[in-house]
Copies of this chain bind each other. A is one copy, B any other.
Amino acid sequence: MKSIIKRTTIRKYTEQNVSDDMLHQLLEIAERTPTMGNLQLYSVVITRSAEGKAALAPAHFNQPMVVSAPVVLTICADFHRTTAWANQRNASPGYDNFLSFLNAATDALLYTQTFCNLAEEKGLGTCFLGTTLYNAQSIIDTLHLPQLVFPVATITLGWPAEQPALTDRLPLRSIVHTETFEDYTAEKINDFYKEKELLPENQHFVDINHKETLAQVFTDLRYTKNDNVAMSKHLIEALRRQGFIE
């Protein structure tokens, strides 16, 4: 628990390698994470080679940790294994649909987070790359993912070469609802975001981007409607190609 309280995302790693023994041990222990029907609807592609990392980098907008980390893990929702098993056992699989994608994505994401909790407990540093969903088709092509396999998370992994300060979090009262969902009032929103908005680094972001508010930095620059709409379209096309949507 101590490691979770102090965790920060690590983007810079030392030259020290992560041994196969340690990596495999962590990946195996993480398998204790529960999954749908205990079917374990996920796969992990381990990228260690310089060529492999360079091939993945563009999909992740060339963020430097993709090539500098000793290990890159691409965790995939995988209904292909279960489907192959069923076909080979005179059973008729029916997992080429949207629910099955979300079931497998759920298994894969829960598995990913246990792996990260375990890795950080060992002193390793991790960075979760949200870019995986933005450029899924590129990752599918690079890793040769077959039908019913879809990348949902990428983790860069290595020994920390930095000690970033803890980042802010919303107060617990902004996350938790009792019995039913209590809608947010203007007063509550002001209360929830006050601390975040007053942080000097966030005020600096607003200034250097010539924005009025921190929220505008998110809506106008970091996560814009235009980008989200375009990437939603690509994501749905990629899900269709992988066989998860008709």
Q: Which residues in A have some Cβ–Cβ distance to B below 8 Å?
A: 1, 4-5, 7, 9, 24, 27-34, 36-40, 42-49, 52, 76, 80-82, 84-86, 88-95, 97-100, 102-103, 105-106, 109-110, 112-114, 117-118, 121-122, 128, 130, 133-134, 142-146, 149, 152-153, 167-170, 172, 174-181, 183-184, 186, 189-190, 192-193, 212-216, 218-220, 222-226, 228-229, 231-232, 235-236
By a CB distance below 8 angstroms, the chain B residues around A98 are 232, 235-236
By a CB distance below 8 angstroms, the chain B residues around A214 are 89
A103 to B109: give the CA distance in the assembly, Å. 12
Docked-complex contact A224 and B179, CB < 8 angstroms? no
Q: Which residue of B lies closest to A100 (CB)?
A: B228
By a CB distance below 8 angstroms, the chain B residues around A121 are 1
For this complex, 25 residue pairs linking A to B, each with C-beta atoms less than 8 Å apart, are A4-B29, A9-B34, A37-B218, A37-B223, A44-B176, A45-B177, A47-B179, A48-B179, A81-B174, A81-B192, A85-B189, A85-B215, A86-B219, A92-B220, A95-B225, A98-B236, A99-B133, A99-B231, A102-B235, A109-B110, A110-B113, A110-B128, A114-B117, A143-B177, A144-B181
**A39-B89 CB under 8 A given contacts A44-B176, A179-B49, A235-B102:** no
A176 to B24: give the CA distance in the assembly, Å. 9
Whole-angstrom distance between the Cβ of A38 and the nearest chain B Cβ: 6
Query: How many copies of this kind of chain does the complex include?
Result: 2
By a CB distance below 8 angstroms, the chain B residues around A193 are 85
Whole-angstrom distance between the Cβ of A41 and the nearest chain B Cβ: 10
Docked-complex contact B180 and A90, CB < 8 angstroms? no
Q: Which of B122, B143, B167, B232 contacts A99 (CB 8 A)?
A: B232
**A133-B102 CB under 8 A given contacts A92-B220, A180-B144:** yes
Whole-angstrom distance between the Cβ of A176 and the nearest chain B Cβ: 5
Docked-complex contact B172 and A91, CB < 8 angstroms? no
By a CB distance below 8 angstroms, the chain B residues around A48 are 178-179
By a CB distance below 8 angstroms, the chain B residues around A178 are 45-46, 48
By a CB distance below 8 angstroms, the chain B residues around A110 are 109, 112-113, 128
Q: A81-B184, A144-B180 are in contact. List 6 more A-B contacts (CB 8 A).
A: A45-B178, A45-B181, A89-B213, A89-B216, A93-B215, A143-B177
